[in-house]
Structure 1
Amino acid sequence: MDPRLFLADLEAKPESLRRLAATLADGDVWHGLPDPVDRVLLLGMGSSRYAAEMAALRLRAAGVDAIAEYASAAATCPPGPRTLVVAISASGTSQETLDAADRYQGSGRLVALTNAPDSPLADVADLVVPMHAGAETGGVACRTFQHTLVLLLDLAARLSTRTAAADLGRPDVAGLARRAADASEDLLARRDEWLTAADALLDGPHGVHALAPVERLSSAMQSALMVREGPRRPAVGCETGDWSHVDVYLTKTLDYRALLFPGSRYDAPALDWLRQRRSTVLAVGAEVAGAAAVIRYHGDDDPGVRLLTETLVAELVAARWWSRS
């Protein structure tokens, strides 16, 4: 793991996303999926599971029976002729995901979503979907996380159009990926305008606390993971509505530094407590009254662009902290 190479991986995000968008526009990367599918099981660990939770929620909202599960679970959905299993691992070597895949090998419904098409996970799958993220030389899953989100959005769009709940046609995920590339490029190009302030606001003695709406909870979880994995500082992610039930207590005793990704119906209660307790709030992607600073970027009025882009703020802060340590 190398902080300089991690930064280079982040700086390559726009170009990498545009290549993925071109791949999606050229054809169906999920070609070969079985039909019909009654249930979707998404398996993964770490950032793979964060992305899976987002996709499972979207699929359920579209009327598809879907669940995201820790690959380490001792027992979950049994194999079945109409259960689609998507095992997610950027390296294709995550032991928990390999163990879980073993339970579904030979069922004809096991898909590997991986950045390593020649990996052990790919070897046991019936269908392999490459992430097309390129080599992450910094040793941290950053582009692969972003590409996993895009590809799972594409899977959700594909399966949702098969249900009666979806009558508006298949969403343009390739177009969304291109807009997210533009947004990432904008944040990177203007980092001199916002990164020093973000660094100072989040650099407290008790870590970083990231909040996001349930639809984008992956942003809070991945942001916290980046702070833990690179600079090895304490950080946690929390769903904004749940925050008032499980994390608010810490604002009374800690120098609480909140990284807020707005958009939840329950932003107001959380912000009320944060103001009362004089906590520091850095908001990303929308204006927030009372925030110490707000970081805006191109296209941040689109929830899909936010989902694919907003973690770059924490990633760049983490890269800076890591390089200093």
Structure 2
Amino acid sequence: MLDGLKRLEYRGYDSAGIATLNDGKIERRRASGKLNNLSGELEAAPLQGAIGIAHTRWATHGGPTTSNAHPHATAEVAVVHNGIIENFKPLRDSLIARGRVFTSETDTEVVAHLISEQVEAGLDPLEAVREVLPELRGAFALAILFRGRPDLLIGARLGSPLVVGIGEGETYLGSDALALASLTQRVVYLEEGDWVVCTREEVRIFDRGNQPVERAVTLSGVDGDLVSKGNHRHFMIKEIYEQPIVVAQTLRSYLRRIDETLTLPIPDFDLSGIKRVTIVACGTSFYAGMIAKYWFEQFAHVPVDLDVASEFRYRAPVIEPDGLALFISQSGETADTLAALRHAREEGQKIAVVVNVPTSSMAREADLVLPTHAGPEIGVASTKAFTCQLAVLAALAANLARAKGRMTQEDEQSVVRHLAEAPAALNAALAYEESIQTVAAEIAAARDVLYLGRGTDYPLALEGALKLKEISYIHAEGYAAGEMKHGPIALIDDKVPVIVIAPSGPLFEKTVSNMQEVQARGGKVVLISDYDGIEAAGAGCMATITMPKAHPLIAPLVYSVPIQLLAYHVAVTKGTDVDQPRNLAKSVTVE
């Protein structure tokens, strides 16, 4: 179980714990902080048993303390839980009124007490869980251990993923297939509302109506070795360097090089009738969607609405018929994005998803699945998933343009050729790491940093600022370069570095004019451009970062590399936890 938790460290967490049955009684070991603290607890007081549950917690209700760490237990049951029980407060108040004693501040502990009440009243475990699940509102993936039942685990999912692993005389539950990779490749992905009864020899699955159902056993294809850092210091830098390969892998699904034409994983999906595209995502995926908005409108002349997933449902969006709702998520399980997808489905939209996990909830609920082939991304700050998303979105935009009659065969072949150049251009960009590392040493001393860009470089400015914030904890903001004079220029002084993303091209001169406004006010500028751009505007900059010449279509992919490397080396210089930055989680399964 400890090995399984190590495989899940990439998700982000602030405490951990394990519970087993020893002679039929529940025993627990828990610790706040990293897994080595839990390992220390287990070395000091080992756990025995052949059945157990384990968890890494990302705090929602209550601080990251040992008492709030999972598993939560009574004398009868122990529970681990991903997600959030939204109605925990009235449930907790009612339980306290009935004499139940709580030992944590968490929402999860109510589940343990509710099931315990039913068991103490004489119900068997299956009946107890069946009674309690309808009382819970919110999102959950649950694994439940019962006193005196060394051959029984019960799991349930609603809004949060849960996977059943099938072994030889063994059965497993995991929050994803990666956690089970060293144990089994045979997995069952539970559907929304399913709950499962596991013994050593069999698995019984019930739907939300408590009817027995069959779910397919599939091969996960997840290799536990993929989570190794190899010769790299951190997963993040390893994943930055994997980008040329994984972008090439991704593009193979969308480009036919023989006749230089575009394709889609589902070629019979009709895009010609699409009148509007609604793009919904969170965080880095949202910035990929911002870049895609430029491409969709430029190539296909189709209007695009762009929404942060957590706001989409709550602003009562006007969704027109014959629209395509496009959802972007690395994990395919992001709670806000998944909820927005279901809302769009109810509104009659065609659903497309760009995901890195083809077995995820979003992929299973979509009409059109557009997979990236980035492989498992372990670093919390997304890098290779972002560039693979951009590759897919560029191909989709061109496919839409062709379907709408906006792209000639010659245009299509040009797009294919330029996209095919992206892996080599990414590789060339990585060659400048040493110069970027030198710049990072100066940026690391800053308290505030600004990023500027125009066109598709504006979302890159936002993404660059997000990367720096995530892993170095330096306050950073991204702006459209032309917006500086409308307020943010008041922040400029010699202590605020300004990172300007400005590849040579049609917007270069205007971006440089904005950069010079910064320099005129004593601002320290780092210019990221190609050789021509550096030659034209590099004088007077604090530093310059030279990138290979790139066609405007693939420039967002290429210029992702320097902003990722800059954030990485600033964080390394400051000594922060690059792969698992504080307060963050990789797969955000709560709203």
**TM-score normalised to structure 1 length:** 0.90
Partner residue of 1:276? Answer: 520
Partner residue of 2:429? Answer: 187
Distance 1:56 1:32 in 2: 23
Aligned partners of 2:325 and 2:349 also within 8 Å? no
Higher relative contact order (CA 8 A, sep 6+): 1
For each residue in 1:43-70, what CA deviation from the matched residue of structure 2 results, as whole angstroms up to 9, or x when unmatched?
1111111111222223223421222222
1:156 equivalent in alignment to 2:397: yes
Distance 1:163 1:210 in 2: 35
Partner residue of 1:292? Answer: 542
Distance 1:297 1:271 in 2: 18
Partner residue of 2:553? Answer: 304
Distance 1:275 1:203 in 2: 20
Q: Which amino acid counterpart does residue 305 of structure 2 have in structure 1?
A: I
Partner residue of 1:53? Answer: 290
Distance 1:103 1:321 in 2: 40
1:4 equivalent in alignment to 2:253: no
Distance 1:16 1:256 in 2: 35
Distance 1:269 1:299 in 2: 21
Give the superposition deviation at 1:98.
0.8
Q: Which amino acid counterpart does residue 564 of structure 2 have in structure 1?
A: E
The structure whose Rg is larger is 2
SS at match of 1:97: helix
1:169 equivalent in alignment to 2:411: yes
Q: Percent identity?
A: 21
> Structure 1 residues 8, 268: closer, same or farther in 2, change over 3 A?
closer
> Structure 1 residues 290, 190: closer, same or farther in 2, change over 3 A?
same
For each residue in 1:179-223, what CA deviation from the matched residue of structure 2 results, as whole angstroms up to 9, or x when unmatched?
22222212323422x123221342342232111112322211111
Partner residue of 2:125? Answer: none
For each residue in 1:214-240, what CA deviation from the matched residue of structure 2 results, as whole angstroms up to 9, or x when unmatched?
232221111111111122221111111
Larger helix proportion of the pair:
1
Distance 2:500 2:254 in 1: 31
Give the superposition deviation at 1:125.
1.3
Distance 1:134 1:84 in 2: 27
Q: Which runs of 5+ in 2 are unaligned?
A: 1-9, 13-232, 257-262, 577-591
Partner residue of 1:23? Answer: 253
**TM-score normalised to structure 2 length:** 0.51
> Structure 1 residues 153, 30: closer, same or farther in 2, change over 3 A?
farther
Alignment RMSD, CA only?
Answer: 2.3
Matched residue count: 321
Distance 1:233 1:31 in 2: 45
Distance 2:383 2:413 in 1: 24
Distance 2:356 2:335 in 1: 16
Distance 1:248 1:30 in 2: 48
SS at match of 1:230: helix
Distance 2:520 2:382 in 1: 36
Distance 1:58 1:187 in 2: 22
Q: Pick from 323, 328, 331: which aligns with 1:88?
A: 328
> Structure 1 residues 32, 90: closer, same or farther in 2, change over 3 A?
farther
For each residue in 1:57-101, what CA deviation from the matched residue of structure 2 results, as whole angstroms up to 9, or x when unmatched?
232234212222222222224262x11111111111111111111
Partner residue of 2:441? Answer: 200
Partner residue of 1:212? Answer: 453
For each residue in 1:250-273, what CA deviation from the matched residue of structure 2 results, as whole angstroms up to 9, or x when unmatched?
004x61201111153532432222
Partner residue of 2:339? Answer: 99
For each residue in 1:135-175, what CA deviation from the matched residue of structure 2 results, as whole angstroms up to 9, or x when unmatched?
11223211111111111111111112244554453255553
Distance 2:548 2:396 in 1: 26
> Structure 1 residues 30, 257: closer, same or farther in 2, change over 3 A?
farther
Distance 1:139 1:173 in 2: 32
Larger strand proportion of the pair:
2
Partner residue of 1:248? Answer: 489
Q: Which amino acid counterpart does residue 376 of structure 2 have in structure 1?
A: A
Aligned partners of 1:230 and 1:319 also within 8 Å? yes
